[in-house]
Amino acid sequence: MSRKSYLFTSESVSEGHPDKVCDQISDAILDAFLANDVKLGIADDSLVNTRLGLETLATTNKIVIAGEGRGQAPFFTKYKGHAVVNREMLTDIARGVIKDIGYNQDGFSFHGADVEVLLHGQSPDIAMGVDAKKKKDGDQEGAGDQGMMFGYACTESEVYEKNSFMPAPIYFAHKILKVLADQRHSGKLADLQPDAKSQVTVQYVDGKPVGCTKVVVSTQHNEQSRNGKKYTPGLVKELISTAVESALPKGWMPKKPSDFLVNPTGNFVVGGPDGDCGLTGRKIIVDTYGGYAPHGGGAFSGKDPTKVDRSAAYAARYLAKNVVAAGLATQCTIQVAYAIGVADPMSLLVNTHGTGKVDEAKLEKVLHELFPLRPTNIRRRLQLNKPIYRRTAAYGHFGRAPERDGGFSWEKTDLAAELKKAF
């Protein structure tokens, strides 16, 4: 028997967290490659368009960009038959990301950090399995790797945030940090620095979220306020309380002061990559459902859309969200699995957790017919060849509003009507 009343906790990290700095650099470089493909008119050509598996590491005034890829000039050129990357362009992109985030500190700054680029050409063995063999298999790319991916959606937060279809703990953990970042950038909270983390514990009664029992925020800050007063956790708490409360539904802010913790270590002046080494792909639970739903294990950032770690996770979220938006269930988890170089998925599972109004086996069949989960179809149906990825690299890949230029296309509910009709 499933529990109806319980506590669940999720965390988020800000755009200035060391790992998120790396995610954003990797995705900003991916966006530049994809924008170049669009400019050249080759975005849909699987034989020549971008391939990228890019990792970034950041520490005290040092950034290392490494991985494998394929792209067109000016990013890649040929020398004696080998792909040569334009290190200067990638360095400029990395510095631009750091500047946008707001890092200009002694230990980590957009102008002072040393950038090392170790990106090399894609292995021909991998390319052979992924590129579409047009005559043989109908212009279908093989999956960029093996693995299983999950998508999830639920209705629990809809009463507070329409069309998010997300678990409440992760949704509001993200929102707290986004509000703080917006106010930092605007100058309203100018004494904050970019690095921050949040943690939200939500109380569930009869299976529905009703409020927060605990909220934790750790945020980097200047050593002194503008009037010369040394910051303490109490002063930082006073500084951010209104912003944090504004991010939560009315009445959700914990009533006891001891249930709202700010900078529990006592001081947070040294932060970002100067305080802790960052690496692409280390915040996969923050990126998805905050631990409320399964994750297959693969990271997203720095990977082009032939990499099913990313594109199939987006597709699974798209299908799960449309199932719930169609009223066929109030919870839906979808798992899909692939083998490297093979277009068709190895398996598809739909689980509505006892909330479904239709047969799950039939739902699997209908979803496969309406949206074949082959990498090429996913890439084209969700328009994933566009430069839309840097914006995903902080504050979650899911629960965001679809954007006019194709960003967060997997958050659309345009399949719901067809699903209703099918049943």
Instruction: Identify whether 137 is part of a domain.
Output: no
pLDDT in tens, 23-67: 999 999 999 999 999 999 999 888 889 999 999 999 999 999 999
Q: Does residue 246 sit in the same domain as residue 320?
A: no
The predicted model gives 210-224 an average pLDDT of 97
Instruction: For tokens 């899909």, name the residue.
Output: 336
Q: What is the pTM of this model?
A: 0.95
Q: What is the mean pLDDT of residues 284-308?
A: 96
Please tell me the predicted confidence (pLDDT) of residue 145. Answer: 83
Q: Is residue 296 part of a domain?
A: yes
Q: How far apart are CA 344 and CA 135, in angstroms?
A: 17
CA pair distance 31, 39, nearest whole angstrom: 12
Same domain, residue pair 49 and 112:
yes
- Report the C-alpha gap between 389 and 300 in whole angstroms: 9
Which residues have a Cβ under 8 Å from the Cβ of 154 and sit 6 or more positions away? 165, 166, 167, 324, 330, 331, 332
CA pair distance 390, 404, nearest whole angstrom: 16
Both 342 and 232 in one domain: the answer is no
Q: What percent of the chain has pLDDT over 90?
A: 86
**Cβ(49)–Cβ(375) under 8 Å?**
no
H/E run at residue 285: helix 284-287
Cα 68 → chain centroid:
21
Mean pLDDT of 300-316: 96
Q: Which residues are paired to 60 by β-bridges?
A: none
Average pLDDT of span 87-115: 97
Looking at the structure, do residues 81 and 115 belong to the same domain, yes or no?
yes
Query: Are 316 and 411 part of one and the same domain?
Result: yes
Tokens of 25: 């650099």
Q: Which pLDDT does position 384 carry in this prediction?
A: 97
Q: Are residues 23 and 121 in the same domain?
A: yes
Same domain, 311 and 399: yes
User: Residue 183's Cα: distance from chain center in Å?
Assistant: 22
Q: What is the pLDDT of residues 151-170, one digit of tens each?
A: 999 999 999 999 999 999 99
- Do residues 372 and 251 share a domain? no
Q: Structural domain of residue 190, as residue ranges? A: 6-13+168-269
pLDDT score, position 123: 66
Residue 61 has which token pair?
């005034």
In this structure, are 323 and 408 located in the same domain?
yes
Residue 95 lies in a domain: yes
Residue type, 345: P
In a domain, 159, yes or no: no
| 276 located within any domain | no
Kindly state whether residues 24 and 97 are assigned to the same domain.
yes
Q: What is the rounded CA–CA span in Å between residue 305 and residue 284?
A: 17
pLDDT greater than 60 at residue 350:
yes
CATH number of the domain at 48, please.
Answer: 3.30.300.10
Query: Residue 221: which of 231, 211, 229, 213 has the closest Cα?
Result: 231
Question: For residue 135, what pLDDT is reported?
Answer: 39
Domain shared by 289 and 410, yes or no: yes
Domain boundary among 205, 234, 269: 269
Q: Is residue 162 part of a domain?
A: no
Which of 215, 237, 269 is where one domain is finished? 269
Quick check: is 402 in a domain? yes
If you average pLDDT over residues 260-267, what whole number do you get?
94
110 and 40 in one domain? Answer: yes
Tokens of 301: 């950032």
Judge whether 351 lies within some domain: yes
Domain count along the chain: 3
Please determine, for residue 136, whether its predicted confidence score (pLDDT) is greater than 70.
no
